[in-house]
Amino acid sequence: MSWLLTGAGGQLGFELQRVLAPQADIVPATRDGHLPGGAHGETLDVSHPVSLVPALDRLQPRVILNAAAYTAVDRAESEPALALAVNAEAVDVMARWCAANDALLLHWSTDYVFDGQATRPWLPGDPVAPLGEYGRSKQAGEAAIRAAGCRHLILRTAWVYAARGHNFLRTMLRVGAERDRLRVVADQIGTPTPARWIAAATAAILARLGEGVGADDARLGTHHLVASGQTSWHGFAEAIFADAVRAGLLERAPSVEAIATADYPTPARRPNWSVLDASSLRAAFGLQLPDWRRGVAEVVAELARG
């Protein structure tokens, strides 16, 4: 019995395929069928949700791992329909198919479903109030899954990065090699989380659940999956540069000036407080990710190895 992995070409999808391959028969899918390294997988265009049902009927997956997502936070402000199609309408189709075919759905969501106006880490059951189109589309996807009534896990994560793909760490390494001085926002707080850690935790969760987990299993539902600790984008950048110098990726660390969100306007509003409480994941599955600083060191070391 196969497990369908959507978004297999993205940074999370790549790590999920790598770690889950020994565990199940993974069918990777991307929008054009192309996979990293030149391999080929299934063609599944989540930007056209109506096209998904025939593919799902043909593949008959017992588990759907939906790592496909529209993640261009700022561009979503000018492309709300596309963000909604990928992050909500396609998810609704998958969830309804899973409900009708007794399949398990795993879906990754985001800290952007919250408004950032909190003084403690966000719990999975806290009220959502997204600030922008990206967050609204992801929240709509979550709501569609719950409304469909399928067996599901929604894993909210935050500030995801990896040694490949487009992410903050890779951007900082590029601009840090080009400039002596940078300005980075210091009043947005969250938890940088490596995609590889998310994938490894997902594999552990699936191993403990089993694909035949009952709908009444209390471990199903919504959990937060993030590294331990917290920092600002400014703190994240300084950690990246310090580790990059130690690893030999940079000759010297640029000066990093701490600025306020107001000093760096963007099309989309971002939550100032994005720290997620992952205690329900620990209670349900016995999982707690290490401190975020360790993740930075591991990814930088991976890049240094080439």
Q: Identify the structural domains of the chain with CATH numbers, from first to last.
A: 2-166+192-227+275-290 (3.40.50.720)
> What H or E segment, with its residue span, contains residue 55?
helix 52-59
3-state secondary structure 99-138: HHHCCEEEEEEEHHHCCCCCCCCECCCCCCCCCCHHHHHH
pLDDT in tens, 110-169: 999 999 999 999 999 999 999 999 999 999 999 999 999 999 999 999 999 999 999 999
- Residues noted as catalytic: 134
Give which of 126, 121, 198 is closest to 155, Cα–Cα.
Answer: 198
For the chain, how big is the Rg over CA atoms in Å? 19
Strand-pairing partners, residue 221, are 153
Q: Which pLDDT belongs to residue 24? A: 86
- Positions of the chain with pLDDT under 70: 1
**Reduced to 3 states, what is the DSSP secondary structure of residue 54?**
helix
Q: How far apart are CA 113 and CA 137, in angstroms?
A: 9
Strands 42-43 and 181-185, how do they pair? unpaired
Report CA 5 to chain centroid distance, whole Å: 14
Q: What DSSP character marks residue 18? A: H
Q: Which pLDDT belongs to residue 1? A: 61
Q: How far apart are CA 230 and CA 292, in angstroms?
A: 7
Q: How far apart are CA 110 and CA 192, in angstroms?
A: 12
